[in-house]
Structure 1
Amino acid sequence: MTTLEAPPVQTADDPPTDPKVQQREDSRALRELMRPVAPQLALGRGLAVISGVLAVVPYVALVHIGEVLLDAARAEAPVDGDEVNHWIEILIVTFTLRLAVYFVALGVTHFADIRLGHTIRLRMVERFSRVPLTWFTSTNSGRVRKSLQDDIGTIHHLIAHQPVDGTQAVVMPLALTAYAFVIDWRLGLLAIATVPLYAAAMALGMRGMAEKTVEMDAKLSVVSARMVEFVTGITVVKAFGRVGRAHSAYQEAAGDFQAFYYAWVKPLLRVSSLGTSLLAVPLVLLINIGGGAWLVHRGEVTTADVLATSLIALLVPYGIEVLMNSMWSSQMAGASARRLTDLLETPTLDDDGVRAQPEGHDVEFDHVSYSYGGPGADLALDDVSFTLREGTITALIGPSGSGKSTIATLLARFDDPFAGQIRLGGVPIAEIDHLYQHVSFVLQEPQLPSISLRDNIALGRPDATDEQIRAAARAARILDDIESLPDGFDTVYGSASGLSGGQAQRIAIARAVLVDAPVLILDEATALTDPESTHQIQQALSDLARDKTVLLVAHRPEVVEGVDQIVLVDRGRVLATGTHDDLLGEPGYARLWESVEEGEK
């Protein structure tokens, strides 16, 4: 039976907007997303209309069978078996045909759902292959997971079921109610006697729903933010014994949401109870059978008429329930479609189609400026210019947050600068075909997917032989560690693999060894490892960097002595370039060395 349920608790991804504007955006996104399967959905709805109309025929047959039986009883004559069999055959055929049409309609919409889900996933893959890698923060990765799993699952009901069930929920009750009025207008009124009262109760309960939903999203955003703050800092909080104070902000936000939600839901539950009672089976039967019995007593209708319209009255609430669920599913699917559409419209790296091969492997940063928020936001890099000569090692050094890692990621084309240009061998890196055959990198945190160690090492060269993979692992000082594992190179990387951070870093180095790109980026590759692993990693990096153009990102100045060139960076600007001896008179470089010497005391 239909109930007005409390709205589901969902975390809002976006800040609340005007409900009417948001509803229009959701509807637009849903129409755009469903466009590829619109013809199949229209066919499903058409078949559902046919199925809904056919639902009337069995009731017509029941009425006629009842009349034949009653006429025979009144006349005390034999029942006309041929007439009864005729209407029974009509009942069975039309009921079977209705079910067949219904299942064909569901088949059409389910295939449309499968096709749409496949299309969306393909579009996502194609889009994300051109999205800047800097976009893939942990937050955006969470959005992608939610969309590919949760949001596509949410629109499943709208595509696979709602066109058929929602259409039938409108057509079948209307057709049956119309037939009830054909039987007798008074029985027709009895069949829908409580529906207007239910509609009024629903309208009362749904009043202000959009505004309350926006307010709920806003409060949930606060709860989510407080929870993330608490969880992120839990280690430090527990270490300093500040747990009670640290989680009080989360408790306050949760308590505020709880009070709001209860205040909203309690009246809805009362309306829900009222709606349930108005469409309850006992009440519906009491009205229809009671009123119908009075009309039978007056001789104005037959018992068969009353039984048929009473059955119709029981199906009307079912149609309303399906219709209400379909309306709510449409609202939820609209929000999901908007999130999916937003992801499918994620800005991509520029690509003018021009392709070239570099001549040599000099790297030039030419007046490069960049901001993570785009032009107009605070600059992460401001007019950066320097050159990496082929076969040399250039070290980027500077205080934390100075822009060193940003420079490294732009060379790897995790994003494009909004001003200036980066060239490799005289060619802008945006025009180089298969850039990662020319540039490889080892980052501070090794990026290893949950696949076998063999596939992890061969990620940049999937055609590599086992012997080449073993040679790369040997060069990275990780071969013995891998072979000591129970499954060896077939071990799937993850928490159950038992690999330490240093071992994971050496697997990442083995991957770079196998690619053997002439330009190598090293971003603090030993920053998060233990001393023993650090020594092994440094040996592996020394072999890897030999005869390559290397960009080395370092926070500690003592690790850059002996490099060919040092670039001193601070606040996104290049302060000086030169060798260690050249920069000793540079105040910023001197301060870095002073901090090292103070730390050793």
Structure 2
Amino acid sequence: MPDSSDITNKEKDKAGRVAFNDLLQPISGRIMLARILAVMSALLSVGPYIVLVQLSGTLLAAWRKDISPDPNEVKSAVILLLSLFLTRLCLYVVALAVTHFADIHLRRILQDRIAKRIARAPLSWFTKTNSGLVRKAVQDDTADVHTVVAHAPVDNTVAIISPIALLIYAFYLNWILGLIAIATIPFYLGAMAYMMRDMGEKTAEMDTRLGYVSATMVEFITGISVVKAFGRTGKAHERYRCASEEFHRFYLAWCGPLLRMSALAYSAISTSVLLLTNLGLGALAVNYGYARATDVIPTAIIALMIPQSIEVLANMTWSIQMAGAAALRIQKILNIPQISRASDQRGGDHDTTVPEEVVFDHVSFSYGDNLAVDDVSLTLKPGSVTALIGPSGGGKSTLATLLARFSDPDSGAITIGGVDIRQWPDAQLYRYVSFVLQDPQILRLSIRDNVRLGCPQASDEAIWQALRDAQIADEIAALPRGLDTVYGVDTHLSGGQCQRLSIARALLIDAPILILDEATAFTDPESEALIQTALTRLIKARQGGRTVLAIAHRPASVQGVDQVAILEQGRLSAVGTPDEVNEHPLYAALWEGTNA
């Protein structure tokens, strides 16, 4: 299985705990309050046992004298017993209420932080990030911390303080009975220590392996249509099967011995063993005069309470491991690189009806260590059409998406009208720049809402005009619900139809600057003709003109342009009119490839 992390599982476990503690900072005060209430509740757990011993003594004394116990004394003891129990229960419930409200508050904070972080993430991050990761962080991972936030502070505190307080009281009653109460605990703790010695590392490894199984499953399902078409289903399924079998072997090798050891550990603190040990040995202690009969029952009950506390702590340890893994995934989302945002007032003087000059000034950009755009300087004159041509992987789409501010350049600047686009507010920039990509994104919304995504106030009349200009009005009108048809629910559209719908969206926005990223790359000839007609309408039919940056592999697909820029290996090798770059070797080779 490929290693999905540069850190060891032990380091991952430690990092998860640190990350989780960092996430708890906003509610640390509430957690502390809950722990204080839990300590008070745990200390009060001793009270009923003290009253029980006194009541047992009263009843036993009356039995020995063959008289009825004092009813007032019995009544007072019962009332005190119930009062202590109810007070302890109320403190415990209030403590849990505090942590549950804290959990709700923390979940809202985390979801808000994740949403704000995603909102300020570079658009390029979304193209390389699985949407399942975002959904898991927002929904599943914020829910995974519930047990540790809403229950652990209270239950762990009670599980630690309560048995300690009870054992102190047991030893106060009789040190021999106190030792008997904990006689089997060392066997259990020794076995548990053996089982838990690598728990953090193993849990982290399990999380990694499960993630790999999930990734191979998604990969297999996503590409099933392709692999079936080429008869390679068995080969594609092999990676998922191997990942699943590796996880199965790992889990059996880890958990098999643990189950056997766990059975031995829990037998040492089972109810039958504890009762036999405490009542049997307690009776012997009473018989030889080392203990009072009235002390045996309370210490036996205390002995029965201790395993419950240990089990709570053991179960919570697993929850803490899972919460740490969830915290790391949440932290990964919260560490997404951010694009700086200008204030809503900046750039407000720009007239969005008139195109301005676009300048790429010594722009460079890298994907990690891979340089995609290298010191590119290019000017797009207002109202001009520039074709960006070059081989695949040359950096064309990257350069265009930098203008759309999917990411920011590593160095250099892109200006519109002399203003760096990083100083433009988003709302202003995306009224000024629109784009039609080769892979159009249609949302699970009505056709109406999809088309007016960038222009929410658009009327139906304006929407139908955009659809007509995009050569898709007749097909939308033929749908049973017309503009109210929900994409992905009521109907599905072909790739060409989706592309024309995205062109209609761009027509409605009517931005002065337009980016076309090989909009006809994956369409059939009939759809390509319709899309070309729609694109021609989109480019030319605008009052005030439109500045266009069109990306293409083939020179033939961008004829009639004002300027051609040839980009290879991230660098501009030529810029000029079609006639001026006609003799360029790459341009000539691309023409020959088109005519071949």
Q: Would you say 1:393 and 2:391 are equivalent positions?
A: no
- Is this contact kept in 2: 1:476–1:540, CA < 8 A? yes
SS of aligned partner of 1:267: helix
- Equivalent residue, structure 2, for 1:3: none
What is the distance in 2 between the residues matched to 1:478 and 1:94?
Answer: 76
Deviates more, 1:141-150 or 1:104-113: 141-150
Q: Which residue of 2 aligns with 1:577?
A: 575
Structure 1 gaps of 5+ residues are 1-10
Q: Would you say the 8 A contact 1:44–1:106 is kept in 2?
A: yes
Residue equivalent to 1:336: 326
Contact 2:204–2:325, Cα closer than 8 Å, also in 1: no
- Cα distance in 1 for partners of 2:205, 2:331 equals 24
| Change over 3 Å in CA distance of 1:468–1:100 after alignment to 2 | farther
Counterparts of 1:476-487 in structure 2 under 5 Å? 476-487=470-481
Aligned partner of 1:550 in structure 2 is 548
Cα separation, 2, equivalents of 1:467 and 1:486: 19
Match of 2:260 among 267, 270, 279: 270
- Contact between 2:391 and 2:568, CA under 8 Å: does it hold in 1? yes
The answer to whether residue 418 in structure 2 is matched with residue 426 in structure 1 is yes
Residues 437-461 of structure 1: CA deviation (Å, up to 9, x unaligned):
1101111111223233322222212
Counterpart position of 1:4:
none
Q: Take 2:517 and 2:101, find their aligned partners in 1: how far apart are those partners?
A: 48
Amino acid at match of 1:118: R
Rounded Cα–Cα distance in structure 1 between residues aligned with 2:23 and 2:3: 19
1:304, distance to aligned residue in structure 2 (A) = 4.2
What CA distance in whole angstroms lies between the structure 2 residues aligned with 1:281 and 1:368? 74
- Please report how far the alpha carbon of residue 237 of structure 1 lies from its aligned counterpart in structure 2 after TM superposition: 4.3
Structure 2: distance between partners of 1:14 and 1:145: 20
- Of 42-51 and 510-519, deviating more is 510-519
Aligned with 1:489 (options 480, 483, 501): 483
Equivalent residue number for residue 443 of structure 1: 437
- The alignment's TM-score, normalised by the length of structure 1, stands at 0.90
1:372 paired to 2:367: yes
What one-letter code is carried by the residue in structure 1 that aligns with 2:346?
A: R
CA distance in 1: counterparts of 2:449 and 2:535, whole angstroms: 21
Change (3 A) 1:66 1:485: farther
**CA distance 1:222–1:36, shift in 2 (3 Å):** closer
Cα separation, partners in 2 of 1:144 and 1:221, compared to 1, 3 Å: closer
C-alpha distance 235-199 of structure 1, shift in aligned 2 (>3 A) = same
Residue 516 of structure 1 corresponds to which residue in structure 2? Answer: 510
* Bigger Cα displacement from structure 2, 418-427 vs 212-221: 212-221
CA contact (8 A) 1:40 1:109 kept: yes
TM-superposed CA distance for 1:164, in Å, is 0.8
* Secondary structure at 2:264 match in 1: helix
Q: 1 CA distance for matches of 2:423 and 2:146?
A: 40
Unaligned runs of at least 5 residues, structure 2: none
The CA distance in 1 between the partners of 2:235 and 2:439, in whole Å, is 32
Confirm or deny: 8 A CA contact 1:61 1:87 kept in the other structure: yes
Q: Secondary structure at the match of 2:479?
A: coil
C-alpha separation in 1, matches of 2:29 and 2:204: 34
One-letter identity of the residue aligned with 2:256:
K
Deviation of 1:68 (Å): 2.0
Whole-angstrom distance in 2 between the partners of 1:243 and 1:507:
34
- Counterpart in the other structure of 1:309: 299
One-letter code aligned to 2:83: V
Change (3 A) 1:110 1:293: same
3-state SS of 1:274 partner: helix
Check 1:30–1:187 CA distance in 2 against 1; reply closer, same or farther (3 A cut): same
Pair 439,264 (structure 1): closer, same or farther in 2 beyond 3 Å: same
> What is the TM-score when the length of structure 2 is the normalising length?
0.91
Question: 5 Å matches for 1:261-300?
Answer: 261-298=251-288, 300=290
Query: 3-state DSSP class of the match of 1:580?
Result: coil
How far apart are 1:18 and its partner, in Å? 3.7
Moved more, 339-348 or 301-310: 301-310
Spell out the pairing of 1:230-249 with structure 2 (5 A cutoff). Answer: 234-245=224-235, 247-248=237-238
The farther-off stretch of 120-129 and 36-45 is 120-129
Amino acid across the alignment from 2:584: E
Match of residue 559, structure 1, among 557, 564, 586: 557
Residue 536 (1) aligns with residue 548 (2) = no
User: Which amino acid letter does the alignment assign opposite residue 573 of structure 1?
Assistant: R
Pairwise CA distance, 1:113: 0.9
- Local SS of the residue matching 1:380: strand
Which one-letter code corresponds to 2:392 in the other structure? Answer: S
What is the RMSD computed on CA atoms of the aligned residues? 2.6
2:24 — aligned with what? Answer: 34
